[in-house]
Structures are given as structure tokens and as C-alpha cells.
Structure 1
Amino acid sequence: MAVNTTSASHTPRAATRQAGAPPQLRAIRVHQQRIIKTVILTVTSLFLGIPPLSMLIFTLRHPLSGRWSLDPWKAIFTADGSALGADLSTLWSGLGISLGLCMATVVIMLLLLVPVMVIAHIRSKRLERIIEWVATLPLTIPAIVLVVGLGPIYRWLSTDVLSSNPIWLCFAYAILVMPYAFRALTVGLNSIDVLTLCETARSLGASWARVFFRVLLPNLWQSMLSASFISISVVLGEYTVASLLGRMNLQVALYQLGQSNSQISTAMSLLALLFGVLLLVSIDLISGAMRRSKENNQPCL
């Protein structure tokens, strides 16, 4: 008791001493914190900004002649690369396939993860930990190792069950995006009281289907959007699985285009990177708008 009393008596004194520090000392501390923040932000901005800036310069300046030109960007926006000796048909085909893969992967991911995670969150914490362990496995297994296991399966699917259409890569991509989607959905589930919502709705006579679609899903829209956008970014940037399985997607098309015109390939890669950044920024914008809308719709007490 004496030790606790002593420590308790010292705590207010320390707080009072810190609050009563001279204004000059507080100003020095604030100035030091400002300098540290500026250095960290500058280093981070340079680390993240120099590679895209180098890519942009490479697309504008011809590496051999040193001539500056917008021809690679004109070729992309006019869909005509004949003047630069590049066939853009493969690029547009790969882009269309990747967009289709994004939609299929998001649908499979949501249909697979959302019901399973909700049931596990309600029924059993132990089952939830098992699902978390399974969902995070793709982070620990390299993509090339996954391809070794997926190769025979896709060979059998292509010959006996489905076809060799690249759209069937959505099954493999659903595995790759699972760790990121799982984390986003977990944040949404932990932010609401799922048990109380389910018990209240059930006590009012709602069926489990009604509880899931009318009670839980409206409260999980934000996390579902986050999981979907992150999954789209992962699918648009995936190269290893598609290349080793001999399928076409955007990254494989960019690699093939780079063999004939590296400037157009780099410009398109920069656009894909910008699109991924816009998706991630839109997560914050949409979540902020949904949060403000929910706060405005709450009744005043």
C-alpha cells in the first residue's frame, strides 16, 4: 500500500511539473517535434515519389536520342501505337481480362469470406482464429510455390472441366487477396456489436437470412468496400501466377508490350499505379462520407 501511495502521489506532481514547464522549453519541444515530422515526411515522400517520377521522365524522354515527346501517351489515349512500332491490341486484351478478373475475384471473395466470417464471429472464437490462420497463409507462401500446386489443378480444369480462358484465374486470385480482404472485414466486424444486433433482431422475429441481409450487411458496407478495392489493386498488379500458368492479364500484356516499346509499357504501368492509388484514396473518402452520413442521420436526444 505504501508503494502504491507513493507512486500515486508522485504522478500528479510529475503531471503538474510537465504542465508548468517554461514556455521556452515547450516551444523548443514543439519545434523539435516539427523537425522530426518534416524529416520523416520528406524521406517518405522521396522514397515513394522518386520511382513514379523516374517512370514519368522515362516515358517523356527517348532513352537513345534524348528527345522529349508525348508520343507514348498519345499512343495510349488514341489506341494507336503503329507510329512507334507497337501493337496495342494485346494491351487492351490484357486490360479487359484484368478488369473481368477484378469483378469475378471480388464476387468470389465476398461470397466466400463474408458469410463464413460472420458465422464464425457469432458462433465460435476458436473457429474464427482457425479461419484467420487459413486466410493469412497466402502471405507466408510465395506465389511461385502456389503456382506449383495450382499448375496441375488448372491443367485438369482446362482440359476436362472448364477451358483455358484466363477468367478462371479468379479462383487463384481469390486465394491471393484473402489475407488483405480478411483484415478489412475483421475491422468492420470488430467495430460493431454483432451479437447484440443478432439477438435483438431475432427477438423481434427476424429470420437469420433477414438478420444477415437487413441488419449485418448494411453495417459492413464500409469494410466490404475496403476489401473490394484492395482486392482490385492486388489483381491489377499480379504477374507471377498468370505468367507461369500461361494466361494473359494486364501485367503479362505490359511485359510483352515492353519487348517492342518500353515507353508505352511504362506509361501504362504508371496509369495502372495511379489507378490503384486512387482506389486506396477513395476508401478514405467513401468511409468518411458514410461516417458523416451516419452521424447526420442519428436522432438527437
Structure 2
Amino acid sequence: MAEFTLRSTGGGYGFEHWLALIDPENERRYRMLWAGIRNSLLLAPSTVALMLVLLVPTMILVQLRFPRLRRLLELICLLPITVPAIALVVGLAPVYSVISGVFGSSAWTLAFAYGILVLPFAYRAVQSNLQAIDLVTLTEAARTLGASWPTVIIRVIVPALRTGLLAASVISIAVVLGEYTLASLLNRQNLQTALVQVSKSDPYTAVILSLLSLLFAFALLAVIGRVGAGRPQNRTTS
């Protein structure tokens, strides 16, 4: 991909296609592309926030209070991966007619659909971390020491689930940045729909943005992997 973007139209190699992206004279030409990038960068944190707010407290509640509902919750969370995207759009179309009337038709409203789309991946990431800790013992110990439920969740459970939450966030961001079908069929503009439109007239720019999104994903994985590794253990002193 990098080699392709460096091919000059007159032969040889150069940075003319990269420089064209930041050329003020091409601002109108790439206006749709920059709008798609902004929308995707807005959708990524919105989807992650929606997923964490809805999924994590529900999983904690089921784990602590309603363990018999664990299989049902797993089935519900894994269901979106079994449904084709076109079928999801058919089901979401009437819902979005209501959403458009309440919140408007801005691209950020795709976060509601993406929150459903990332559920299977986020659930598996958090659940694997949840099974690795003794959540009941941690919670009972914190409650015995007088901690309120918000304090237990924020200061005890969330730090213990840090690796799972980070993994779920990375997967959700990757899904959002690479999603095309829902955005296209629901008539919303994001990075992938903009790339498809631009690639029809300028394949070099489409490949450049795809390469940059890959590098961004790798950088994000490296940063979150570093953060998820945790702090080094303090040395014991005599």
C-alpha cells in the first residue's frame, strides 16, 4: 500500500499524492473525505462510551445478583454477530425514523447502531477479564469497609477490569472505523463511505487514508497494550 501511494503519475516515485491531501487548492475536492473522517472520529468515542455505560454495569449486576441470567445475557450480546448487516439495517430503519425525529439525522446517531454491532466483541473481551477475578469477594470486602456502590464500581471493579475494558474499547474503535454497510444503507457518511466515493476518482487518496487508518490502529494497540500492562510492582523495603 505504501509503495502504491508513492507512484507518480509521470513514472517513478514521489510524494505528490500525499502532498495533494494538504494542498489548499484541493480543499473542495476532499471536503467529503474530511467530513467522513471527522464523523468517524466522533463516532468512535461515542460508541465506546455507549457500549461501556450499557454493557459493563449490566454484566456486573448479572455477575453479582443474577448469575442465572448469565447465559441469557451472553445470548443477547452475541446475537448481532449472527444477523447479516442487511437484516440489521431492515430492522433498524424504522427505529432510525424515530431517532431522526428526536436527535436529527447527524452522523453521530450511528453510535446507537454501532453500539449494537460491537456488543459481541466487547462482551467477550470484558467477560474473559470478569472470569479471571473474584468479583464477589472484592465487592463484599469493599462494602464491608463502608464503600458505596458507586465507589465500589469506580475504584474497585473498574480498575480490576482495566484490561478487558481497554480491549473492548480497541475492538469497538476498530469496528467503527472499518464499518461501511450500516452507514451506507442508513445514508450516513463516515470514513468508509467517503473512501468508496473518493476511490472512484482518486484511488491513491483512498489507499493513503486506508494505510493511515491501519497505522492508527497499530499505534492504538501499542498504547493500550502499554497501559493495560499495568504499573510495575513496588519493591518491598525492609
TM-score scaled by length of structure 2: 0.92
Q: CA RMSD in A?
A: 2.1
Select which of 56, 60, 74 maps to 2:6: 60
* 1:196-249 CA-partner distances (Å, limit 9, x unpaired): 011111222222222212211121222212211211111011111000111100
Distance 1:81 1:216 in 2: 52
Distance 2:118 2:237 in 1: 41
Partner of 2:67: 125
Partner of 1:91: 33
2:79/2:120 contact within 8 Å kept: yes
Shift in Å at residue 186 of structure 1?
1.0
What is the letter of the counterpart of residue 297 of structure 1? Answer: N
Distance 1:300 1:137 in 2: 52
Partner of 2:212: 271
Partner SS for 1:136: helix
Q: List runs of 5+ in structure 2 lacking aligned partners.
A: none
What is the letter of the counterpart of residue 6 of structure 2? Answer: L
- Residue correspondence of structure 1 range 1-301 to structure 2 within 5 A: 55-62=1-8, 66-76=11-21, 78-80=22-24, 82=26, 87-158=29-100, 160-288=101-229, 290=230, 293=231, 295-297=232-234
Shift in Å at residue 299 of structure 1?
5.4
Considering only CA atoms, is the larger Rg found in Structure 1 or Structure 2? 1
Distance 1:123 1:299 in 2: 38
What is the letter of the counterpart of residue 209 of structure 1? Answer: P
2:162/2:228 contact within 8 Å kept: no
2:50/2:115 contact within 8 Å kept: yes
Distance 1:138 1:225 in 2: 21
Distance 1:131 1:299 in 2: 43
Shift in Å at residue 80 of structure 1?
4.1
Distance 1:244 1:88 in 2: 22
Shift in Å at residue 281 of structure 1?
3.1
* 1:67-87 CA-partner distances (Å, limit 9, x unpaired): 4332111223x25463xx981
- Indicate the percent of aligned positions where both proteins have the same amino acid: 45
Distance 1:298 1:123 in 2: 38
Number of residues of Structure 1 aligned to a counterpart in Structure 2? 238
* 1:98-157 CA-partner distances (Å, limit 9, x unpaired): 011011101100000110001111123321111111111111111111111111211232
Shift in Å at residue 161 of structure 1?
1.7
1:257/1:265 contact within 8 Å kept: yes
* 1:44-64 CA-partner distances (Å, limit 9, x unpaired): xxxxxxxxxxx22222225x7
Partner SS for 2:13: coil
TM-score scaled by length of structure 1: 0.73
Distance 1:162 1:201 in 2: 40
Partner SS for 1:202: helix
1:81/1:88 contact within 8 Å kept: no
Write 1 or 2 for the structure with the bigger share of helix. 1
Sort the Cα spacing of 1:190 and 1:255 in 2 relative to 1 into closer, same or farther, 3 A. same
Q: List runs of 5+ in structure 1 lacking aligned partners.
A: 1-54
247-256 vs 217-226, which moves further: 217-226
Sort the Cα spacing of 1:281 and 1:207 in 2 relative to 1 into closer, same or farther, 3 A. same
